[in-house]
Structure formats: structure tokens, C-alpha cells
Amino acid sequence: MSSVAGGVVGTTAVFSGAGGGVPLHVLAVDDSSVDRAVISGILRSSRFRVTAVDSGKRALELLGSEPNVSMIITDYWMPEMTGYELLKKVKENIAQESSTLKQIPVVIMSSENVPTRISRCLEEGAEDFLMKPVRPSDVSRVFNRVLP
């Protein structure tokens, strides 16, 4: 089931692992509607509940109102706020007073293979850096390593 409202796409899938049917919620952030659809489809087929937004600003707004996000996967290069800036805000916990936001794993995606950018993101606390086009095997590898 999908819904579209103001740049936000919600998709629900159930994780059937050790969580006993509890969906793990992934926030997908990308300014490209095509890339949002691709990553949402991969995540949905991997049985995650997905909320997709079109900017870092919308991601922070959603994180302020949605406490049950298990992971964030974000594009690096977006207008207004880059994925790197979103990562820093999440890890520095600027967006929310609670320390739970800081604990959310963040994965960065990019179509540009820039080693200094990759290193900078990983040093700032990103769990991984995926090259686009993202493949289901990339998502599976990261999520199996990072999520319970």
C-alpha cells in the first residue's frame, strides 16, 4: 500500500524476522522522484515499512514527529540540505532533544564516487556509503549488518 502527499510517500511492509512480524521503519530521503521510487521499491521488497521524503528538511520534520524510525537512507547531493548535512544534524542531535535520534543508523547514497566525500561521511557516523544505482544486494548487506 502506498500513498503520496506533499513529497512524502508512505509504504508499509512487514519484517518477518526475529521481530515477530513487527515492521522496521526506514526513512528514504532523495530529491529525485525516480531514485525515491527505486530505493522505496527495493526496501519494500525487503519487507520494510518505508516513508520516502524529498528533502533533508522534510526528513528532520518527520523525525521530530515519528519516533519509530529504524534507519535513514539518504542521497548525498540534494538542494537546501545535503545528505551529509542531514547526517550531521542527526548525529549531533540538533533536530530533537531526545538522544534516540542520535542512535538511528544513517546510510548515504550517491552516484558520484568521490573518496574524500565517502570518508567524510563515514567519519561523521554514517553506517555505510552506497553507490547508485543501489541494488537489492547492497541493501541486504547493509541492513543485515546494521539492524537486529
Q: Which mean pLDDT values do the consecutive 10-residue runs of the chain (148 residues) have?
A: 38 42 88 97 92 97 89 96 96 64 93 96 96 94 85
Q: What are the phi and psi torsion angles at 20 (to 5°)?
A: 65, 45
pLDDT at 83: 98
pLDDT of residue 8: 40
Q: Report d(CA 98, CA 92) in Å as an integer.
A: 11
For 51: left if phi > 0, alpha if psi spans -120 to 50, otherwise beta; the answer is beta
DSSP state of 46: T
Q: What is the pLDDT of residue 1?
A: 36
Instruction: Give the Cα separation of 39 and 29 in Å (integer).
Output: 9
Output the CATH code of domain 25-146: 3.40.50.2300
d(CA 130, CA 12): 23
For 49, 119, 136, the CA distances from 40, given in Å and listed in that order, are: 9, 26, 11
9 pairs with which residues across the strands? 4, 52
pTM confidence score: 0.83
The pLDDT of residue 97: 54
With H, G, I as helix, E, B as strand and everything else as coil, classify residue 9: strand
Give the three-class secondary structure for 146.
helix
In the chain, domain spans: 25-146
Query: What is the per-residue pLDDT for 99?
Result: 65
